Structure 1
Amino acid sequence: MTGTVPLGAGPALFRAPRRALTVLVVSQVLGGAGMAAGITVGALLARDLFDSASLSGLPVALFTIGAALGAAVLGRVCQRRGRRVGLALGNGVAAAGSTAVVVGAAARWPVLLLAALLVYGAGTATGLLARYAGAELAPPGRRGRATGTVLFAMTLGAVAGPNLVGPTGALAHAWGIPRLAGPFLLAAAAYTAAALVLLAWPRPLRPSPAADGPGAAEESAIGPRRPARGSFGVVTGATVMITAQLVMIAVMTMTPVHLTGHGHGTRAAGLVISLHVGAMFLPSPLSGLLADRAGGRPVAAASGVVLLLAGLLAALAPPASVALSACALVLLGAGWNLALVGGTALLTRAAPAENRATVQGLADVGMSVAGATGGMVSGLVVTGSGYPFLAAAAGVLALAVIPVVALRGTPP
């Protein structure tokens, strides 16, 4: 496709991309449930299996390493075979990993459980990679909002998942499976359904026809594209997202351990995490609108301030106060959302169309590696220095890196 959109053909031409966006949204709702359910109990499952709090960050580290591998592979699959095939494959692999986690936990086979968590991590990669597909389905000038819509779609499932820890745990117990493996039963079903929804759509997830109109060559996946100056935009966007991922994962991973270690039950921990995950995705339409109107830099810079506030509140909140811990985790999720949307805008704006999906996948590899690092180190830091130190240090790191990188001048 090259020239202009034919006069009078607009509604018909845009109908397929809109339907494709609906399919993408439905798959994201299902995938969100699978992702959040596993994240909520991963650290607790490891603590019970290994009987050590210092290793409780291992599951998050493993499935974020899996997400790194998944992002690299799926980015290439999306580039070569299309977004629909790549996203369906990722959801299918995540469903298989979730099933293997249940088997490993039931049999108390640590090696199988740890290997399964690597495979499960592909689901996290799939859910985030879908934001790029959403951007491509929207006309220029609305792609930030389309990105936000796809991320927002994960909210329903992501918020519901942690709150189903109790019911799914009871179901697992009735089947002779450890209670903490119950959420992975939900994850297996949800990811399978997400893959089937994508495969049932008979057409590729094609970009909006407006992207091929006059001036399309100067448009990126989010907002108007300016001439690229090397890899500056790609590096800036990736740095913002990677730093936010490191900070968010480190604090989020240890929060359930911190709460249950001070006498709160898994239901309270699940509620706090569900509010956090909701804050990760619920503000996405607003963040996308801000990215469309103001640009990615201010949105990304604001995330550093919000993440600092989150870290300080988490550090200063009394262990007995679930409410204050929940507020801190809500701020943590909101700051991460701003960084993700703003960083996505900066990165995709600079990525060349001929290898955009591959570059996007590699950026998400960096996020996954950062998450793995945060998940692994968080348990060691909490064991050595305590949860308040971890939370405060994470907030300071976010403020020291993200606004500086996001607001630095355009290179010559």
Structure 2
Amino acid sequence: MTTIAEAARIQRRIVTVLAVTQVVGGLGNGAGIAISALVVKDVTGSSGWAGMAVVMLTFGAAAVTVPLAAVAVRSGRRPALTLGWMLGSMGAVLTVIGSDVRSLPLVLLGLLLFGSSTAANLQSRFAAVDRADPSQVGRSLSLVVWSTTVGAVIGPNLTGPGQDVARSIGVPDLAGPVLFSFVAFTLAGLMTLALLRPDPLVRLAAAARAPSGIRAALPHIRGTTLVAVYAIASSHAVMVSVMALTPVHMEDHGASLQIIGLTISLHIAGMFALSPVMGWLSDRWGAAQTILLGQCILIVAVAVAGTSGDSELQITIGLTMLGLGWSASVIAGAAMLTRSVEVSARPAVQGLSDLALNLAGAFGGLLAGLVVAWQGFGTLTAAAGTLTLPVIVLVLSGRRVAQVVPTE
């Protein structure tokens, strides 16, 4: 029988391994996502198509989220996360090839698979709480989310070195950073396979016999859990829709690739750097209150970004705040969800939550390109801001039950 001290040691090891792999994988995500819209624009010659980059990335993440959760239920987190990182690695290769031969279908297929890395990234945060003490769910989850900061912030700044690498091997400049993504995802997958031992889900033996997939999760999507899932998905849609078209907006106003990369880096820093603070707030202050804080920050962020015009400083401030609002809302939402569902059902419900998150992001990215091509970036940010209102209403109406912790 595992002692309390032994359980704590195992939990520390799991969180450490997940944190290190998130640093490496986050570098790949940051490098590729920062220029994905520009790759599509370069291949098609149209800003209207640029939003399809984030659409494919998020659809790709959505497509594998539930299958990866099912793999986790049956075989453990280790094989599920490894599979996600390796599919992302394959996607990076196809994106580079598609950019080189100027094939839009190949680029989109590559970005679709690339999105699997996002699914692995997201499910890592839930792996961190499989063995966590209920009073430290927010802390454990946020530490793994925070570890993404290092790689994710450095990643977008690899656009310059990526250009040099691309030219040295004869591929388009914009494909260079995606090469770094390939290396990073491969390393993250190999590290997960070799080091994530013991598997976080091993102690949940009953989960291996439990039903998995969407049908298994749906009966649990009610009350507090429904509020949590909706808050996570809506906040992600706001963030993705604005972030996806920011590089195009900045390029149209004459910003260099280096400035665009710096802006996205600071945005990603906003998403991840203060995540331990958001986790602490969720544990101590309450998940519902932390979600409301995140929604208020998102409203201010879209107002600042939407009125930035050609001001690189203002758009950078707006994007950084956008990341902070996302961080508060998604971390607190994930903690609320984890606490509101019994242990045996968590992997299935968590998978459905990530599916909703990615579909919301894909929908936001799809509309973002169309709205910007039709009415401009300011209209896009205003429309994104309205998505916060239903979340505020739902959280305020459900605060009485938002802090319920189920008996395990």
| Fold match (TM-score > 0.5) | yes
Note if contact 1:254-1:379 (Cα within 8 Å) is conserved in structure 2.
yes
Per the alignment, residue 404 of structure 2 pairs with: none
What letter matches 2:353 in structure 1?
Answer: A
Aligned-residue CA RMSD in angstroms? 2.0
Note if contact 2:270-2:321 (Cα within 8 Å) is conserved in structure 1.
yes
1:391 aligned to which of 381, 393, 397: 381
User: Which whole-Å CA distance do the structure 2 matches of 1:376 and 1:405 have between them?
Assistant: 25
1:404 aligns with 2:398: no
More divergent stretch after superposition (148-157 vs 34-43): 34-43
1:171 aligned to which of 165, 177, 183: 165
Per the alignment, residue 88 of structure 2 pairs with: 94
Which blocks of at least 5 consecutive residues in structure 2 are unaligned? Answer: 206-218, 402-408
User: Which whole-Å CA distance do the structure 2 matches of 1:202 and 1:148 have between them?
Assistant: 18
| Structure 1 residues 167-224: Cα deviation after superposition (integer angstroms, max 9, x where no partner) | 0121112211011111110111001100111111262333698x99xxxxxxxxxxxx
Which structure 2 residues correspond to residues 340-351 of structure 1 after superposition, within 5 A? 340-351=330-341
Per the alignment, residue 70 of structure 2 pairs with: 76
After the TM superposition, list the runs of 4 or more consecutive aligned residues in structure 1 that deviate by more than 6 angstroms: none
| Structure 1 residues 344-386: Cα deviation after superposition (integer angstroms, max 9, x where no partner) | 1221122232221111011111111111111111111011111
Query: Does the C-alpha gap of structure 1 residues 13 and 172 become closer, same or farther in structure 2, counting only changes over 3 Å?
Result: same
Displacement of 1:107 in angstroms is 1.6
SS of residue matched to 2:198: coil
What letter matches 1:345 in structure 2?
Answer: A
Per the alignment, residue 246 of structure 2 pairs with: 255
Note if contact 1:311-1:393 (Cα within 8 Å) is conserved in structure 2.
no
User: Which whole-Å CA distance do the structure 1 matches of 2:6 and 2:231 have between them?
Assistant: 38
SS of residue matched to 2:115: helix
2:304 aligned to which of 288, 308, 313: 313
SS of residue matched to 1:142: helix
More divergent stretch after superposition (23-32 vs 230-239): 230-239
2:273 aligned to which of 275, 279, 282: 282
SS of residue matched to 2:296: helix
**What's the TM-score, normalizing by structure 2?**
0.91
1:270 aligned to which of 261, 264, 276: 261
Per the alignment, residue 125 of structure 1 pairs with: 119
Note if contact 1:18-1:137 (Cα within 8 Å) is conserved in structure 2.
no
Note if contact 2:281-2:290 (Cα within 8 Å) is conserved in structure 1.
yes
User: Which whole-Å CA distance do the structure 2 matches of 1:169 and 1:279 have between them?
Assistant: 26
1:328 aligns with 2:318: yes
Per the alignment, residue 45 of structure 2 pairs with: 51
User: Which whole-Å CA distance do the structure 2 matches of 1:350 and 1:74 have between them?
Assistant: 22
User: Which whole-Å CA distance do the structure 2 matches of 1:208 and 1:300 have between them?
Assistant: 31
User: Which whole-Å CA distance do the structure 2 matches of 1:364 and 1:355 have between them?
Assistant: 14
| Structure 1 residues 19-45: Cα deviation after superposition (integer angstroms, max 9, x where no partner) | 122111111111111111111001111
Displacement of 1:55 in angstroms is 0.7
More divergent stretch after superposition (126-135 vs 102-111): 102-111
More divergent stretch after superposition (75-84 vs 10-19): 10-19
User: Which whole-Å CA distance do the structure 1 matches of 2:391 and 2:272 have between them?
Assistant: 19
Query: Does the C-alpha gap of structure 1 residues 229 and 62 become closer, same or farther in structure 2, counting only changes over 3 Å?
Result: closer
Note if contact 2:305-2:319 (Cα within 8 Å) is conserved in structure 1.
yes
Per the alignment, residue 12 of structure 2 pairs with: 18
Per the alignment, residue 218 of structure 1 pairs with: none
What letter matches 2:395 in structure 1?
Answer: A
| Structure 1 residues 276-301: Cα deviation after superposition (integer angstroms, max 9, x where no partner) | 01110111100000111122111111
Displacement of 1:140 in angstroms is 2.5
Equivalent residues, number = 388
Per the alignment, residue 216 of structure 2 pairs with: none
Note if contact 2:142-2:276 (Cα within 8 Å) is conserved in structure 1.
yes
User: Which whole-Å CA distance do the structure 2 matches of 1:386 and 1:230 have between them?
Assistant: 36
What letter matches 2:186 in structure 1?
Answer: T
Query: Does the C-alpha gap of structure 1 residues 115 and 353 become closer, same or farther in structure 2, counting only changes over 3 Å?
Result: same
1:246 aligns with 2:240: no
Note if contact 2:131-2:200 (Cα within 8 Å) is conserved in structure 1.
yes
Per the alignment, residue 180 of structure 1 pairs with: 174
- Percent identity between matched residues is 37
More divergent stretch after superposition (173-182 vs 351-360): 351-360
Query: Does the C-alpha gap of structure 1 residues 103 and 306 become closer, same or farther in structure 2, counting only changes over 3 Å?
Result: same
What letter matches 1:279 in structure 2?
Answer: G
Query: Does the C-alpha gap of structure 1 residues 196 and 100 become closer, same or farther in structure 2, counting only changes over 3 Å?
Result: same
1:359 aligns with 2:353: no
Displacement of 1:230 in angstroms is 7.0
Query: Does the C-alpha gap of structure 1 residues 162 and 41 become closer, same or farther in structure 2, counting only changes over 3 Å?
Result: same
SS of residue matched to 2:63: helix
